A and B are shown apart, each in its own frame.
Chain A
Amino acid sequence: MNEPARRLSVIVLLLFLALMGSASWIQVLDAEELNQDPRNVRTLYREYGNFRGPIVVDGEAVVWSDPVDDPFNFQRTYADGPLYASATGFYSIVYGRSGLEQSENELLSGTADALFWTRLGNLFAGEQQQGASVETTLNGTLQRVAADQLGDRPGAVVALEPSTGEILAMVTSPTYDPAVLASHSTAEVNSAYEELVNQEDGPLVNRAIAGDTYPPGSTFKLVVSAAALESGYTPETELYAPEELELPGTSATIGNYLGEVCSPDDYMSLQDALRISCNTAFADLGMSLGWGVLERKATDFGWGEELDIPLPVTASRLPEDPNESQVAMSSIGQYNVRATPLQMAMVAAAIGNDGTLMRPYLVDTVRAPDLQVVSTTEPEVMRESMTRADSDDLTDMMVEVVNNGSGRGAQIAGVEVAGKTGTAETGRDTPPHAWFVSFAPADDPAIAIAVIIEESAGQSGSTGGTIAAPVAKAVMEEALRLDAEGDL
């Protein structure tokens, strides 16, 4: 009976090898995937056990972790939570992460590859793992002014530094306080989240970059103007600007805002058409230029591209293969043209920056816990949107808009402001969205800005020029003041 006993012991050995193999599979080979499974709450618990890095605005932490005496060890704390929620996002034991808390998670939690040596140091020093601090490009003062100006009206404000692409302000309204989702009580977090989700105006949506994109309305005429200038038009070129323009292939017509007449003789210059935002002139211009030209120009300004700032930005959209009448509608920023407020700020920034579009970014510097710089974002050219000469012409046209046109509400004493209003139709029974995009000073802008107030906050008869321009003006004024003091 010795021989079969020996053989049986070999079979036992094989059985154990199978166990060891599968244990290795679970614990090492497949471990990464299992650890990243969203159903694996251990990963979250372990993260909370770490000293998570702060998120910094203007050299001061606006989000940080406080040690507490509960199973999670640290409480995520938000100073000015509602003000910075659009950038920071939330960090919740129940609903995961959003915003920078999500996109910079590996750095904040200290698990990023870039922090390997820091981790190793901590290990040898017997210290707890610490996350890196993430310094944003936001300017706290501008952010606050923009938020105050917008108030509780639903909409968004995005301000960029045209020469670098730094995002100076990113405000979305209504907003929420991430602190209510950072509670360590699942019940509290659940009820707070339920409340936010059930709120009809969607406070969790970041309208500046990721909401439902908006029809840009007349602000899109900047793109059409740029296309025209590139095609050989000059600001003085005469455009056909009738009172009503028939849409080819339909019985419908395009009129002007409130049925106004653009020009007594049905003709006006490109510059004047932009100044008073004449719909019929731009609709006709768009059809003459052809869809291909418009599409290419819009792409030059960034349409169709998803950005990582590092928050994911929804791509702004263009209609696919529109017919003649749809091209006419698209030329005045209606039909299926859609843009994020960030996209419109990028248009203003590119025009102000001599035609060069800088890639927008929100994270400036990442520092290890020992203050060593882990990474810095270098300004990067995203596109050459238009030639320098064309951008100078377009800038002059935009200055006219503010000085003598629809954008008078954004005039700043002693400074040339370049801007464009927009009043985008959203439906027969709802008030239009009020837009304003601008930059200042016109010759060498310190700031480019886009403002949208959804459905004109219910105020009928309002336009981009009357309600959005003053918001942009206040933020630009503050930016110019800071710039003069060297604080921008």
Chain B
Amino acid sequence: MATVAELQVRAGRRAELGLLAVSWAIIVLARALVDYHADVLVLAELGWYALATGALMGGAHLLMRRYAANADPVLLPAVFALNGVGLAMIRRLDFAYAQYEGRDTSFGTTQIGWSIAGVALAMSVIFLLRDHRKLRRFTYTAGIVGLVLYLLPLVPGLGVEINGARIWISVLGRSLQPGEFAKIAMVVFFAGYLVTNRDTLTLAGPKFLGLRFPRPRDMGPLLVVWAAALLLMVYERDLGASLLFFGIFLGMLYVATQRISWVITGLALFAFGAVVAGIVFPHVRARYDGWLHALDADVYSSGTSYQLVGGMFGMASGGLFGTGLGEGRPDLVPYAESDFIIASLGEELGLTGLMAILALYLIIVQRAFRMSIGVRDGFGKLLAAGLGFALALQVFIVVGGVTRVIPLTGLTTPWLAYGGSSMLANWIVVGLLLRISDQARRSAQEVGP
């Protein structure tokens, strides 16, 4: 055993405290700027906000010291910073909607509630789940739960269709996106299933055209979940989630089996599916048109690319350094507080701000992969890599859609976009990652000198 003093330095809680202070300063400053530009800056009110966020962050930090002392010190400050910037932007949009459209919205206040709930959930995960390996016991439960969650919006009377996608359910007057939670359940299921069957998946099975295919009985459950989920996507018309789900599956399969042939086959299958969908479904074709010919006069005037081009105009007007918080017109883009919060941030914080945000995501994701390599159990490895990759892919799909790298699909931007389900689900991911990293780094210390 190392000495207590050594252990604390290596654990990184002090580094976490320092980083938390930086992100706290960013959160409070962002809000101060928003209020100042909207001419509603009241120092006492800002003081309360500073105190409350400080207390929440400090509380989380203390809990970490007590229950996950060796967890990754970068994760929590990075996520807090993203969440705080999102809160400031959403509050700023409330002011813009009131000023320019006479719309009285309180997205900002609601989102604060969801953020607090999210942090509480992440902390409960750390408090309740002392060892991530326990989750492996729930592999099949998670698979079923994930499926049910994906299915829920299709239940008559419960599911609600909003903007052509049937991915919401209505509970007690609130709409929830169960798909956000299903994503986590699916990662748990894949991790548990793949760690058990990876040897048979890798080694057994018939060889065909130089590729070794798994035996049907190994492949069966995976195929069932995958096909079922994809089918649901078609019925729920949620292209983004479909892409995300399929990507997570491929990524984790690759990590588990190390077989690039799987990835190639999967990508080819997906490309085929994408082309067929473009031919068969008019709404998918419209998405492609809106992406490839976004600036064409007819495509734009038909409304297909109105939102995308609006976001691009916003980002272009922001330029390198942005208009400044409260100085642009992000409200001109539909759903500026949710789908297009990235464009809103690009407009007001500039390319500089957007790069910083992307860098934060990249840091979080790379830390997750770091944990995957550091943790010793296979289940933990797959879980960490799966959660990290899920996060990365979600950011890529939504930001790529807004910046025209890929067609625009509806997914939420983790911790930034307005919306309760996404906020809660992604804070749960933070809790899980912190728990795994605690294990990973503790084991590293035990092995160390």
Select which of A5, A22, A40, A45 is within 8 A of B373 by beta carbon: A5
The minimal Cβ–Cβ distance linking A272 to chain B, given in whole angstroms, is 61
A128 cross-chain contacts in B, Cβ below 8 A: none
Taking A26-B404, A27-B354, A42-B313 as contacts, is the C-beta distance between A5 and B100 under 8 angstroms? Answer: no
Q: Does A185 contact B (CB under 8 A)?
A: no
Give bound CA distance, A4 to B328, whole Å. 43
Interface stretch, picked from A7-15, A172-180, A246-254, A475-483, is A7-15
A3's closest neighbor in chain B, by CB? B258
Q: Are A22 and B405 in contact (CB under 8 A)?
A: yes
A196-254 residues at the B interface, CB under 8 angstroms:
none
A42 in contact with B314 given A19-B403, A22-B400, A27-B346 (CB within 8 Å): yes
Whether A30 is near chain B, meaning CB under 8 Å from some CB there, is yes
Question: Nearest A residue to B323 by beta-carbon distance?
Answer: A46
User: Once the chains bind, are A16 and B392 in contact (CB under 8 Å)?
Assistant: yes
B399 on the interface (CB 8 Å rule)? yes
A26 and B300 contact, CB distance less than 8 A: no
Give Cα distance in the complex from A8 to B392, angstroms: 11
Main secondary structure of the interface of A (DSSP, over half): helix
Nearest B residue to A15, CB-CB? B396
Give chain B residues whose Cβ lies under 8 Å from the Cβ of A13.
362, 366
B265 contacts partner chain A, Cβ-Cβ < 8 Å: no
Inter-chain contact A31/B373, CB cutoff 8 Å:
no
Asked if B316 contacts A39 (CB within 8 A), the reply is no
Residue A1, interface by CB 8 Å: yes
Q: Say whether B404 contacts A6, CB under 8 Å.
A: no
* Residue in A26, A37, A39, A46 whose Cβ sees the most chain B Cβ within 10 Å: A26
Q: Does B319 contact A (CB under 8 A)?
A: yes
Q: Do B373 and A2 touch across chains, with their CB atoms under 8 A apart?
A: yes
Task: Determine whether the beta carbon of B385 is less than 8 Å from that of A5.
Answer: yes
Contact B313 A12 (CB under 8 A): no
Contact among A19, A26, A42 for B396, CB-based, below 8 A: A19
Q: Determine if B318 and A27 form an interchain contact, defined as CB atoms under 8 angstroms apart.
A: yes
Q: Using Cβ atoms and an 8 Å threshold, which residues of chain A touch B405?
A: 18-19, 22
Interfacial chain B residues near A22, Cβ < 8 Å: 400, 403-405
Residues of A contacting B400 in the complex (Cβ-Cβ under 8 angstroms): 15, 18-19, 22
Chain-A contact segment, one of B81-89, B157-165, B249-257, B279-287:
B249-257
A42 and B329 contacting across the interface, CB-CB below 8 Å: yes
* A43, CB-defined interface residue at 8 Å: yes
Per-residue interface assignment for chain B, residues 275 to 313, with 1 indicating a CB less than 8 Å from any chain A CB and 0 otherwise: 000000000000000000001000010000000010011
For residue A120, CB closer than 8 A to chain B, the reply is no
B168 within 8 A of A: no
Interface size class of B (residues with CB under 8 A): 35 or more
- A22 and B318 CA atoms in complex are apart in Å by 15
Q: Which residues of A contact B316 (CB under 8 A)?
A: 26-27, 30-31, 34-35, 40
| Given A12-B389, A42-B332, A19-B100 contact (CB < 8 Å) | no
- Distance between Cα atoms of A170 and B282 in the complex (Å): 57
Min distance, Cβ A165 to any Cβ of chain B, angstroms: 40
Tally A residues with Cβ within 8 Å of B. 34
A41: Cβ under 8 A from any B Cβ: yes
- The reply to whether A26 and B403 contact each other, CB–CB distance below 8 Å, is yes
Q: Is the CB of B255 within 8 A of A4?
A: yes
Residues on the B chain within 8 Å of A20, using CB: 355, 358
Flag whether B99 is at the interface (Cβ < 8 A). Answer: yes
Verify A9–B350 contact, CB threshold 8 A: no
CB-based contact B346/A16 at 8 Å: no
Q: Which residues of B contact A27 (CB under 8 A)?
A: 315-316, 318-320, 346, 350-351, 354
Closest Cβ neighbor of A45 among chain B residues: B329
B 348-373 binary contact with A (CB < 8 Å = 1; else 0): 00110011001001100110010011
Q: Kindly state whether residue B382 has any CB partner on chain A within 8 Å.
A: yes
* Contact A19 B358, CB 8 Å, known A1-B382, A27-B346, A35-B316: yes
**B351, A1: Cβ atoms closer than 8 Å:** no
B378 at the interface (CB under 8 A from A): yes
Q: Is A387 an interface residue (CB 8 A)?
A: no
- Expressed in whole angstroms, the minimum distance between the Cβ of A84 and any Cβ of chain B is 32
Main secondary structure of the interface of B (DSSP, over half): helix
Within 8 Å CB of B442, what residues of A? none
- Residues from chain B with Cβ under 8 Å of A43 in the complex: 317
CA distance in complex: A73, B99 (Å): 13
Interface centre among B99, B362, B388 (most CB of A within 10 A): B362
Q: For B351, give its contact among A24, A39, A46 (CB under 8 Å).
A: A24
Q: Which residues of B contact A18 (CB under 8 A)?
A: 396, 400, 405
The answer to whether A2 touches B312 (Cβ under 8 A) is no
Q: Which residue of B lies closest to A43 (CB)?
A: B317
Does A389 reach chain B (CB closer than 8 Å)? no
Partner of A42, one of B317, B365, B388, B403: B317
Asked whether, in the complex, the Cβ of B99 is within 8 Å of the Cβ of A12, the reply is: no
Distance of A332 Cα from B442 Cα, bound (Å)? 102
Q: Does A71 belong to the interface (CB within 8 Å)?
A: yes
- Among A2, A13, A42, find the residue whose CB has the most chain B CB atoms closer than 10 A: A42
> Which of A4, A18, A28, A31 has the largest count of B CB atoms less than 10 A from its CB?
A4
Query: Given that A9-B366, A43-B317 are contacting pairs, would A34 and B255 also be in contact in the complex, using a CB cutoff of 8 Å?
Result: no
Cα(A3)–Cα(B259), bound, Å: 11
Residues of the A chain whose Cβ atoms lie less than 8 Å from the Cβ of B362: 12-13, 16
How many angstroms between the C-alpha atoms of A146 and B312 in the bound complex?
49
Which residues of chain B have C-beta atoms less than 8 A from A9's C-beta? 365-366, 369, 388
The answer, yes or no, to whether B381 is at the interface (CB within 8 Å) is yes
Q: Which residue of B lies closest to A30 (CB)?
A: B316
Given A4-B254, A35-B317, A16 and B312 touching (CB < 8 A)? no
Question: Does B312 contact A34, Cβ atoms closer than 8 Å?
Answer: yes
Docked complex: B79-111 residues within 8 A CB-CB of A: 99-100
- Expressed in whole angstroms, the Cα–Cα distance for A28 and B100 within the complex equals 27
Interface string of B372-414 (1 = CB under 8 A from A): 1100001001100100110011011001100111000000000
Docked CA distance A15–B405 (Å): 10
A23 at the interface (CB under 8 A from B): yes
Of residues A2, A23, A30, A41, which shows the largest number of chain B Cβ atoms within 10 Å of its Cβ? A23
A34 to B313, CA, bound (A): 6
- Chain A's closest residue to B318 (CB) is A27
Q: What CA separation (Å) do A71 and B102 show in the bound complex?
A: 12
List chain A residues, Cβ under 8 A from B255.
Answer: 1, 4-5, 8
B residues at A contact (CB < 8 Å): 99-100, 251, 254-256, 258, 295, 300, 309, 312-320, 328-329, 332, 346, 350-351, 354-355, 358, 361-362, 365-366, 369, 372-373, 378, 381-382, 385, 388-389, 392-393, 395-396, 399-400, 403-405
Besides the contacts A3-B258, A41-B332, what 18 more A-B pairs have beta carbons closer than 8 Å? A1-B258, A1-B382, A2-B372, A4-B258, A6-B373, A8-B385, A12-B392, A16-B361, A16-B392, A19-B400, A23-B354, A26-B403, A27-B354, A30-B316, A31-B317, A34-B317, A35-B313, A71-B100
7 pairs, CB–CB < 8 Å, chain A vs chain B: A1-B256, A4-B254, A16-B392, A18-B396, A26-B403, A31-B316, A42-B332
Q: Which 6 A-B pairs have the closest CB atoms?
A: A34-B316, A9-B369, A31-B316, A27-B351, A40-B313, A22-B403
